Each structure stands twice: as C-alpha cells, then as structure tokens.
Amino acid sequence: MMEKASAVLDLRGELCPYPALYAGARLKRMTSGEILEVVADGLCAMEGLPDAISQAGHKLLKVETLANGIYRYTIEVA
C-alpha cells in the first residue's frame, strides 16, 4: 500500500514550463522519502513533468489519468 502524500500541488491550468518548475521547487523543500502528489493537465504534464522528476533523481511512483487530460503524479523524494 502506498503512503499518504506529505504534500499536494494542484497545477491544473499552468502553462509550460511552470508545472515542472513549481513541482521542482516544492520537492527541494521536502525531505528524502516524503511523497508529493502533483495534479496537472496539458502537454507539459504528459511530457515535461515526468522528465523533470527523473532528471532530479526523484522516483515517480505512479501516474494516473483522472479525466480529460488531467494527470496525478505520485513522487517519492530522493
């Protein structure tokens, strides 16, 4: 069973590159092992956000499609 998120960011409506930037800034303020949940939409959510997460060394635990191009990412802080 997955741990409950330590923090949640709702970035729906934000244009590229802001979802990746805001998520990255929040991840930097978290400690190793904490869980961040990010809800985002659009092309940036599909492509830019997962790339930014992996490049920063964090672990993408789960990606869910909620509805109409809205995605929820569950990320474990490195």
Q: Which residues are catalytic?
A: 16
H or E segment and range at residue 62 = strand 59-67
Task: Report the interhelical angle of 48-55 vs 18-28 (nearest 10°).
Answer: 30
